[in-house]
Amino acid sequence: MMNTSNLTNDEICQYLFRCALSDGFEYDCPCNKQNCTEMMINTCKYSEYLISYPPKGLINSNIIILYKYDHSLDNPSFRSFLTGNIKCRGYEFQTDVLLEFYIQKYMDDGHFINHLLCKLDNSDFGYRNISSQYQYDKFCWNNSLTFNGRPYAVNTRACSSSKECISQYRINDGSRDCFDLEDESDVLNKSYCTGNVGRHRFQCHNNERKCLPVTKLDIEKTFCSNRYDKSWYGNGIPLQNQLRCKPEETTDCHRIKEYIQQSSNNNSNNYDTFISFQQQNLKGRMFFQSHCDTFWNSDTHIDEMPSSCQYWVCRDYQYQCRTGQCIRENWVCDGEWDCPDASDEEVFVLIEKTSKHNNRLPNFQSLLVKCREKYPKSPFSNVWNTSFEFGCYLSQVSNPLNVSLYRPCINLTQIGDRIVDCYNAYDERNTFSINSNMRKMWGLHFRCADKHLSYESACTHLFNCTNIQCSYNRDETGLCSDKNDFVCLKENQCKKNGWCNGTFDCFYGEDEYWCSSHSRITDSTAYRYEKDKFIDSMTPQVIYPYLDASKGSKYPSAKSPVNSEPEMSSEKYSYQCNRGIAVLQMNETRCLCPPAYFGDFCQFFSDRISIIASVDQKTELTTILNRTLKIRANLLFNKQIVDHHEFHIVSKLEKSQTIKHRFYLLYSSTMEMLSYRRKRYFNRTDIITNHPYEIDFHVFILEKNKMAEEIGSWYYPIYFDYLPAFRLAVVLKFPSSIQNTTLVPYCQQTCKTNSNCLPIFNQNNSYYCSCKNGYFGSNFHTYEYLCKTFCSANALCRVDESDFRTKKKKPYCICPLGHFGARCHLRYNDCYSNICLNNGTCITYYDPSGENLLQCKCSEGFFGRQCENVKPSVHVHLNMTQSMSTRAVVIQCYDYPFLSPVLETKDQQLYKTLPSSVRLYQSKQSISALGILKIYQDLLQAQYFLIYCLTSQLTINITSSPQYCSHASSLLPKG
């Protein structure tokens, strides 16, 4: 590449710098990291050896980063600057000055960094051009109307200093939209969470005027003072454990929706009573084995209370803390506190009388020896007694560093008593929590003024707010500049790299104080992080029986294609294409781009509209009931087709489940259309008044040996076509007026002889003229004779008039039922051979990939690709000796899923009275191991009975006398 003659000197320097950063991994690099630096010094004659990388505008239009390429790139030296133009509210800020700033300070600010320029009001730095056409409206278009005639919901007082324009619905939504956080920090005298938006936002069930989207519920940060965004009505149990609402498990999604809707009803008369009822009656869910494991699973830490854990029974391989919690035996004396009172570490030596449980541990004596050898040599151990004291800087004294006046130790019994005796709560690291996360232990966290800093961040130069924990801040010589350097108290000498290096370098050993047990701890591997992950991974898995394929299961297994001779490609071609496939043609690399990308290297992202469409089967009319429908979605520009997509609606399949059809349509990427869209982006008047793009969904009824019949369409104008990406989600509904023929004669007068008058379903009393087979033109008088032979028999031939004027394309065909392909000559034949067994119904599936061209809809009791397998069944004869009056009876079969504290309902049936027998077919190849009977004698409480608990069964056919299940609270001691 270096030998390419058409490269400029700047491009060569950029290329060499990429080679240096990637250590020669860039394609065809002539150098490695060190050699590239030498080549750049000889080739790139930049001032002060500074090179701009990445090029301006590639990542951020206003940030320039200059690297010193004459330095080692193992630890790159760089400077960051702000410059250029930016749109602000009421003006455009323009500058050519390079304004240096400390980018590390703003790493979390993302695009907000640019708005530092909008805050500048100094002519030495730049110019506020109030007459520029590139600016945001001074009043954020507050007097304008949206595309549907409604006023913009904008609060012009938001972001007053950084000059962003934001919707009022972004105020107090939990996400930063103003550079200065005004949208989240200002105290409001009114709520902006109103109308349709308010019904779908969480408002904390109080008067804080929050407007949180559902994605802000139960995340690490807390937004509501009552913590209702973290736990169900503040009961302390995380929402994710309380409710199941995920793409694969939607059982409790309706409860989440109600929870959000009720959050705005806090002014209703019965609201306080309602909340009290919820708090008293709702109980959290968590693993039974998650109690007393030293990890908090509840915001209130109720699962780790020593008063309850004292009665806990540990497993044989676990060590029991003096507070009752259970930990793994190999965690004892590993240098990290696991027990709240440190009875697995320093306090281990206080154990005079071993508990019965710990006394049974085979390695207990070796653990005792291990701890006694580990802790006699500890920080400050030369001034305190290791047999009953713990060394630490004292809290609530005028100068903790004055260890001669304030003896640095406390009694071991003071550890974990929830009273801060050591500086920075060092003795309460397993009892205190970080305020932003009630389930995260304080650990080695650090409080710096009003900030909570992680162990990794506490002693960086950005947060050098203490000279107690971070000794190099006490250095007066300038020799201890690194955060790992340490200044000893007594010697007042600098020990280079002396902090936490495993060696006692200072008289008191304070250089090994406040050290992590890990060799390197970061924000992502926080206090006890690895152990927390280990506990999650070791949650017991209940294994239930599955059908044994060796014992008669004929369910066909998918065969993986075998590539006996894998194709080898040279590594140097692998990364030349941004997307797509690289192929070698005449010793040049060509990129085959997927539809969403274009350019020589697939480097440009095609502008597109993503569509999610489903058909509302509830409104489907009897005239098209159980018919197969084809829907063709056309993206139109000024009524001319730009792109299209076809999908099918098979009523027999979509009656039982809603299928969402997902696809995207591409805008034209010709130079002419790109230029048009670029001009339109800056023409607000044109955007408001003209909407040249629309998407039409034309629906056809398909029948065997009959031409497809078009019955109508849905029209959706695109109001945001100036955006590079836009999503349209629609539910296509058939109105009852489709069968109203009173307006057809009036409509037919408008449409000509060679067209049909059809309804627009989503526009009342609106119709359009649809051309008949082969006809096109404004009056439908022009016939395309190619249609006589182009499409197969019974296929509907359509012509796009714009294509025929430019002679770009041929007609397109709408295939009849059972046919496919560009000209409908290919047929689906699989259903003709009665492939479905056991009275299953064969349905053509219309899979564009061609892999699944049919689907068998099985009769009850069968499953499999061809309905060849008998479903596992649960058949229970109920023998209830007790006579009970019932309002409702529910029979449920459960599985116990891995890593979930909630039983998973597999099958259930509802009855008004108690049945004598029940038969349930399992939906998968597994048998549910647990059967429960719920009897409701009123509408509030259910009585639970155990029907069966069986494993390793292929079928269940039993007579059961259900056993009553007492509530757990009745088994606990009273008082």
The string of pLDDT tens digits covering residues 203-245 is 988 888 889 999 898 887 888 888 888 887 776 667 877 677 8
- Longest CA pairwise span in the chain (Å): 107
Can you tell me the distance from the alpha carbon of 447 to that of 276, in angstroms, rounded to the nearest whole number? 36
Confidence grade of residue 427 (pLDDT, cut at 50, 70, 90): very high
pLDDT tens-place string over residues 706-743: 899 999 999 999 988 878 888 999 999 888 766 555 55
Which helix (H) or strand (E) segment holds residue 529: the answer is helix 529-537
Q: How far apart are the first and last CA of the chain?
A: 82
pLDDT at 618: 67
pLDDT at 407 > cutoff 90: yes
pLDDT at 177 > cutoff 80: yes
Grouping H, G, I as helix, E, B as strand and the rest as coil, residue 428 is helix
- 119: which residues sit within 8 A by CB, 6+ positions away? 161, 162, 163, 179
- Residue 102: both structure tokens together: 């400390």
Average pLDDT, the chain: 80
Instruction: Find which of 119-133, 184-198, 731-745 is predicted with most confidence, using mean pLDDT.
Output: 119-133
Instruction: Find which of 366-380, 395-409, 924-938 is predicted with most confidence, using mean pLDDT.
Output: 395-409
pLDDT at 783 > cutoff 60: yes
Can you tell me the distance from the alpha carbon of 212 to that of 225, in angstroms, rounded to the nearest whole number? 13
Can you tell me the distance from the alpha carbon of 778 to that of 752, in angstroms, rounded to the nearest whole number? 10
Alpha carbon separation from 949 to 540, 874, 932 (Å, rounded): 18, 12, 9
Q: Where in 567-639 does DSSP place strands (E)?
A: 581-585, 588-592, 597-598, 604-605, 608-615, 628-637
- 940: which residues sit within 8 A by CB, 6+ positions away? none
Domains of the chain: 196-244 (4.10.400), 318-377 (no CATH), 573-602 (2.10.25), 607-827 (no CATH), 871-959 (2.60.40)
Cα 495 to chain centroid, rounded: 46
Q: Where in 803-901 does DSSP place strands (E)?
A: 812-814, 819-820, 826-827, 841-844, 854-857, 862-863, 869-870, 873-878, 888-895
pLDDT at 416 > cutoff 90: yes
pLDDT at 456: 66
pLDDT tens-place string over residues 850-862: 666 778 888 888 8
**Higher model confidence: residue 800 or residue 229?**
229
pLDDT tens-place string over residues 807-823: 556 788 998 888 888 89
pLDDT at 493: 87
Percent of the chain with pLDDT over 70: 81
pLDDT at 564 > cutoff 60: no
Can you tell me the distance from the alpha carbon of 689 to that of 683, in angstroms, rounded to the nearest whole number? 10
Instruction: Find which of 186-190, 513-517, 659-663, 774-778 is predicted with most confidence, using mean pLDDT.
Output: 659-663
pLDDT at 594: 87
- 223: which residues sit within 8 A by CB, 6+ positions away? 174, 204, 210, 212, 216, 229
**Higher model confidence: residue 643 or residue 457?**
643
How crowded is residue 683: how many other Cβ atoms within 10 Å of its Cβ? 13
Amino acid at 228: Y
Question: What would you report as the CA-atom Rg of the chain, rounded to the nearest whole angstrom?
Answer: 36
pLDDT at 457: 65
Cβ atoms of 555 and 868 closer than 8 Å: yes
Confidence grade of residue 393 (pLDDT, cut at 50, 70, 90): very high
pLDDT at 975: 54
Q: Where in 568-686 does DSSP place strands (E)?
A: 581-585, 588-592, 597-598, 604-605, 608-615, 628-637, 640-650, 661-666
Confidence grade of residue 574 (pLDDT, cut at 50, 70, 90): low
Q: Minimal CA–CA distance to 628: which of 600, 608, 653?
A: 653
Average pLDDT over residues 346-361: 81
pLDDT at 491 > cutoff 80: yes
Amino acid at 597: Y
Confidence grade of residue 565 (pLDDT, cut at 50, 70, 90): very low
Length of the chain measured in residues: 975
**Residue given tokens 């001669």 in the structure block:** 404
DSSP state of 704: T
DSSP state of 451: E
- 435: which residues sit within 8 A by CB, 6+ positions away? 452
pLDDT at 147: 67
Q: Minimal CA–CA distance to 662: which of 642, 680, 645?
A: 645
- CB neighbour burial string for 941-965, b if at least 16 within 10 angstroms, e if fewer: ebeebebbebeebbebeeebebeee
Which helix (H) or strand (E) segment holds residue 956: the answer is strand 956-960
pLDDT at 314 > cutoff 80: yes
pLDDT at 436: 53
Average pLDDT over residues 383-389: 85
Average pLDDT over residues 30-41: 79
Which helix (H) or strand (E) segment holds residue 748: the answer is helix 744-750
Confidence grade of residue 802 (pLDDT, cut at 50, 70, 90): low
pLDDT at 118 > cutoff 50: yes
Amino acid at 322: R
Can you tell me the distance from the alpha carbon of 910 to that of 912, in angstroms, rounded to the nearest whole number? 7
pLDDT at 522: 41
pLDDT tens-place string over residues 851-902: 667 788 888 888 888 888 888 888 899 888 777 788 899 998 887 765 556 6
Cα 97 to chain centroid, rounded: 40
pLDDT at 901: 61
Can you tell me the distance from the alpha carbon of 391 to that of 415, in angstroms, rounded to the nearest whole number? 11
Cβ atoms of 924 and 943 closer than 8 Å: no
**Higher model confidence: residue 951 or residue 900?**
951
Say which range, 65-69, 105-109, 163-167, 520-524, has the weakest mean pLDDT.
520-524
Average pLDDT over residues 185-206: 82
Residues facing residue 94 across a β-bridge: 127
pLDDT at 277: 47
Quick one: three-class SS letters along 306-363? HHHHCCCCCCCCEEECCCCCEEEHHHCCCCCCCCCCCCCCHHHHHCCCCCHHHHCCCC
Confidence grade of residue 785 (pLDDT, cut at 50, 70, 90): confident
pLDDT at 465: 61
**Residue given tokens 């019949």 in the structure block:** 709
- 928: which residues sit within 8 A by CB, 6+ positions away? 544, 874, 893, 894, 895, 906, 907, 922
**CB burial of residue 633 (10 Å; 0-12, 13-18, 19+):** buried
Q: Report the C-alpha dihedral over residues 94, 95, 100, 101, rounded to 10 degrees.
A: -10
pLDDT at 409: 93
Q: Minimal CA–CA distance to 771: which of 796, 802, 739, 745?
A: 796
Read off the pTM. 0.51
**Higher model confidence: residue 393 or residue 181?**
393
Average pLDDT over residues 290-297: 88
Can you tell me the distance from the alpha carbon of 364 to that of 358, in angstroms, rounded to the nearest whole number? 7
pLDDT tens-place string over residues 607-616: 899 999 988 8
pLDDT at 556: 37
Can you tell me the distance from the alpha carbon of 766 to that of 747, in angstroms, rounded to the nearest whole number? 9
**Higher model confidence: residue 34 or residue 746?**
34
pLDDT at 924: 61
Question: What is the secondary structure of 474-500 as a DSSP string?
Answer: G-SSS---STT-EE-TTT--EETT-TT
pLDDT at 620 > cutoff 60: no
